Structure 1
Amino acid sequence: MPKVNVLPNVPRWARLAAVGAALTNVPSALWRLAIAVGVPVGLAQSEYDQMGAPGLGSLVLVGLSLISEAFAFLTLGLVQSWGEVWPRWIPYLRGRRVPVMLGTGVAGLGALTTTVFGALFVYTSLNADMEATTLGIWLLNIVYAPLLFWGPLLGAVTVHYYRRRMAASPAPV
């Protein structure tokens, strides 16, 4: 198991928020993977047909799950050493400091995007005309509800990352 370099100057709340943000995607990813392999989750057959799952549409569902998990995992870089110094496996950048504004800008854009996505999901799910069982609609809402926290948690960790990194940076001359 790789050694995780948790930074000593990161408060507990920021570590918990980063882990929370990274985990918000797990329920919806598992739900998509269930659909991809043909596990019934309470949707009507027309919904599965529209997604093309199981079938070629399953590749999209698996890909979306993997990509969203990868982006969520990047939140941990805001509280660990690899968010301050490029890891050794990245050619040309390894060992160099991650620019504060790069980390903050990417994470801030991610926080904004995921917050908007969460709000749009709530609006869409409340106004959607889905063919699903009551259980299916409840399950859909339960597995996607944690995504409402992704943006705010990522935003809080991003602000902390920026403040911590700027406080540690020498003032320009």
Structure 2
Amino acid sequence: MTIKLMTPTLAVRDTEQPVPRWAVFSANAIPFLLLPHCLWRLPFAFDFGMGMVDPNAPAWVWWAIPYVFGLSVVSEAAALLSLGLVRGWGEVAPAWLPIVGGRRIPPLAVIIPSTLGGLAATAMYGSTLLTWLNVPGFHGLGFSNGWWEALANVCIAPGILWGPLVLALTYAYYVRRRRPRR
């Protein structure tokens, strides 16, 4: 009796053209890169400042809980959409969708929003990076001690890769979906 060892694979077999391994790995990593930031944000919903010192912070309001939880859920949902850049459902609409189900998705219908999203994420996290690099004109909030600041930096830092990774995945999607040259 022979035993076959199952090795994990990153291969995606439901796309028209093969997807590069780095793209599959990156698309699968994006939700995990944002998870620490989404979890770090949750205590703010309950008026726990995570060591942040902001004298101009508004008083806690009742809608902070649904807002912060909603922001975290929407961030993770947007991160999961990057999987469409390496999976078949980013090329052909799933059959269960009304009207468009089973139809081929025009490449620009994916490329334009993912490019805009990648640019937006880069700009959003880019200001954080510029603050950390002490670029004049970019100032962050203070912390009550260095441990809180270190925790914030560790939780936020992986998210800085979100925008550039989405832009790289969008380019790989474009290259894969463009028409072959004649």
- Normalising by the residue count of structure 2, what TM-score does the alignment of the two structures yield? 0.78
Regions of 4+ moved over 4 Å: 37-40, 44-47
After TM superposition, the structure 1 stretch with the greater mean CA deviation from structure 2, 80-89 or 6-15, is: 6-15
For 2:168, which of 156, 167, 172 is the aligned residue? Answer: 156
> For the residues of structure 2 that align with 1:51 and 1:63, how far apart are their CA atoms?
19
After TM superposition, the structure 1 stretch with the greater mean CA deviation from structure 2, 75-84 or 110-119, is: 110-119
Does the alignment pair 1:139 with 2:151? yes
Q: 1:150, CA displacement in angstroms?
A: 0.6
In the alignment, which residue of structure 2 is the partner of 1:61? Answer: 68
> For the residues of structure 2 that align with 1:25 and 1:44, how far apart are their CA atoms?
24
Q: 1:38, CA displacement in angstroms?
A: 6.1
- Deviation track 1:80-134 (CA, whole Å, cap 9, x = no partner) reads 1110111233221111111101111111111111111111122345522424322
- Which blocks of at least 5 consecutive residues in structure 2 are unaligned? 1-10
Distance 1:50 1:6, change over 3 A: farther
Determine which structure has more spread, i.e. the larger CA radius of gyration.
2
Computed over aligned residues only, the root mean square deviation of the Cα atoms, in angstroms, reads 2.6
Higher helix proportion (structure 1 or 2)? 1
Q: 1:152, CA displacement in angstroms?
A: 1.2
The answer to whether the 8 Å contact 1:7/1:79 transfers is no
In the alignment, which residue of structure 2 is the partner of 1:70? Answer: 77
In the alignment, which residue of structure 1 is the partner of 2:129? Answer: 122
Matched position secondary structure for 2:147: helix
Percent identity over the alignment is: 34
- Which blocks of at least 5 consecutive residues in structure 1 are unaligned? none
> For the residues of structure 1 that align with 2:25 and 2:35, how far apart are their CA atoms?
16
Does the alignment pair 1:6 with 2:15? no
In the alignment, which residue of structure 1 is the partner of 2:41? Answer: 32
Letter in 2 for 1:70: A
- Normalising by the residue count of structure 1, what TM-score does the alignment of the two structures yield? 0.81
Matched position secondary structure for 1:6: coil
